Homo-oligomer: A and B are copies of this chain.
Amino acid sequence: MSMDIVKLLEDVAQKRISVEEAQLKIKKEPFEDIGFAKIDLHRKNRQGVGEVIYGAGKSADEVRDIVKLMKDRQDDGILITRLSDDKAEVLKESFDDITYYEKAKLAIVGKKHDITGKGKIVVVTGGTSDIPVAEEAALTAEFLGNEVERVYDVGVAGIHRLFANLDTLMEASVVIAIAGMEGALASVVGGLVDCPVIAVPTSVGYGASFEGLSALLSMLNSCAAGVTVVNIDNGFGAGFFANKINQR
């Protein structure tokens, strides 16, 4: 943004634009105000990735309106996360090119980005119940242009299942380790590989798992260095962060 100001100042100094226009530009350009929301159309320039639609707190109509606006302004595909099955049904009526991934509760309008990531992102889970979160992570990373490999159900209670996939882990550019319950998977993986490990605690479990708190604390306290953590069940955040690393 600092650079925008520099350029803008130059334009003003060169009389290429008026003061009023400049001020207007600062205010109006980077997003579109559609009443209930302000769509950040500028994000692609600023952060390398266009705005992603978080479907959870929005009606199907609101999501549709935002998608329409974004389709008009950009060529990229559009990612919608936390989209329920029934909202997805509604959207299918408006957009031919929408693909809905039921397990991940995630939709892509248009096409995924071309693969530009340099290495492979590996997504591992402790159990089968962690798969919805894992798919959110994997599909997000794929959408953003990365090759992704899935290694599911390799929790530490049967650690040989993890070791049988050591080659895959060793060759990864980034590993996303997803687990509920005690979340030990992140520490074990973090101790084995030399690439960055992003840990995602899930709300899988019961009783003293306290909706994912146990796995969250576990991962934050990992005795393995080189592990960072995102919010409980935040597969999207992990996939997005992994993409940032892999695109460098």
Contacts and interface: CB of A to CB of B under 8 A. Distances in A.
Interface stretch (A67-75, A87-95, A181-189): A181-189
Contacts of A3: 167, 170
Copies of this chain in the oligomer: 8
Contacts of A216: 207-208, 220
B161 A31 contact: yes
Given A156-B187, A164-B28, A184-B182, A241 B224 contact: no
B58 A26 contact: no
Interface of A: 1-3, 5-6, 8-10, 12-13, 15, 18-19, 22-23, 26-28, 30-31, 36-38, 40, 42-43, 46-49, 51-52, 56-58, 62, 118-119, 126-129, 131, 152-161, 163-164, 166-167, 170, 173, 181-184, 186-188, 190-196, 198, 201, 203-234, 236-238, 240-241, 244-245, 248
